[in-house]
Amino acid sequence: MKKYFSLVLFAHSIFALPFAMIGFFLGVTTTDNPFNWIKLALVLLCMVFARNAAMAFNRYLDRNIDAKNPRTVMRDIPAGRVSANEALLFVIFNCVLFIITTAFINSLCFYLSPVALFVVLFYSYTKRFTALCHLVLGLGLSLAPIGAYIAVTGVFNLVPVLYSFAVLFWVSGFDIIYALQDEDFDKAEKLHSIPAALGIKNALRLSVVLHVLSATCVILPIFYSHFSWFYYLGVAFFCCMLIYQHLLVKPNDISKVNRAFATTNGFASVIFAACFLIDAFLRTHFNF
């Protein structure tokens, strides 16, 4: 199991998982649907299986590219710690478990499960033909809040969709920052990315625009639901983290990309979700 956790970078689940919890508890606290531990466990399992399948498939499909890139040559498949066939079997295994798990949640989740898998797996192909690959990655992770909400309610709603858009723009923006490291490599290998297409300076400008849109999408729910000051605190922290990562990375200095990518965004999602959950708990139990 240790080598598979390394293959899928399980720690990176910290980006989408907090927003899945937001979607789940939004469904519990704003509708007549009761909290259910089993359903929560099923949602968490779906997150794990989908994330495992997507990341392992990306590593499988990109194994030859990773072997050429000095930054990625020590990833598990090029380094020989996991074989390509093992990675592919791991993908299939997690896809099957994901679909089976959705069947125990509700019929809508089950019917939509192939669509969700298509989106998260299709991302791995996109860098071969479009610089919009970052948006496709964002789209894949954006399924977390709306998917968790549907798991609870069985229906769509505007507010969880706003959180999905927040994730889409947030992830797309920070993935552009992360891709700055491979600008020259992508050009040499004829791979597509925003930094390779626009250059570092313009790529960072586009990332700023996407993060402004993300911040807007976490602010808009205020106009559709009642929140306490805990939620406002979470929004403020999330926006500050967006600003901070753009202060870390500059066109003439991308040495702090990893800090901006992992640490800053990890804190942003966890603290924002924690503030949302505290706010929901206080409003539900104490009319806060």
pLDDT band at 14 (very low <50, low <70, confident <90, very high): confident
Provide the token pair at 156: 């769509």
Instruction: Give the tens place of pLDDT for each residue, 89-114.
Output: 999 999 999 999 999 999 999 999 99
Kindly state the percentage of the chain with pLDDT values over 90.
Answer: 84
**Is it the case that residue 11 has pLDDT exceeding 70?**
no
**Is it the case that residue 286 has pLDDT exceeding 90?**
no
Using an 8 Å Cβ cutoff, are 131 and 192 in contact?
A: yes
**Is it the case that residue 1 has pLDDT exceeding 70?**
no
What pLDDT is attached to residue 45? 95
Looking at per-residue pLDDT, the higher value among 226 and 63 belongs to 63
Using an 8 Å Cβ cutoff, are 211 and 168 in contact?
A: no
Q: CA-CA distance, 78 to 182, in Å (whole number)?
A: 17
Using an 8 Å Cβ cutoff, are 188 and 80 in contact?
A: no
State the DSSP string of 37-82.
Answer: HHHHHHHHHHHHHHHHHHHHHHHHHTHHHHHH-TTTTTSTTTTTSS
Q: CA-CA distance, 45 to 39, in Å (whole number)?
A: 10
Which of 3-12, 162-171, 270-279 is predicted least confidently? 3-12
What pLDDT is attached to residue 7? 66
What pLDDT is attached to residue 8? 63
**Is it the case that residue 263 has pLDDT exceeding 90?**
no
What's the mean pLDDT when you consider all of the chain? 93
List the CATH number of the domain containing 17: 1.10.357.140
Domain tally, the chain: 1
Structural domain boundaries enclosing 181: 2-286
Residue 184: count other Cβ atoms within 10 Å of its Cβ. Answer: 10
Buried b (16+ CB within 10 A) or exposed e, 123-161: bbebbeeebbbbbbbbbbbbbbbbbbbbbbbeeebebbb
What pLDDT is attached to residue 283? 83
Instruction: Give the tens place of pLDDT for each residue, 168-178.
Output: 999 999 999 99
Mean per-residue pLDDT for 70-86? 91
Mean per-residue pLDDT for 213-234? 95
What pLDDT is attached to residue 242? 96
Mean per-residue pLDDT for 196-203? 96
Looking at per-residue pLDDT, the higher value among 259 and 116 belongs to 116
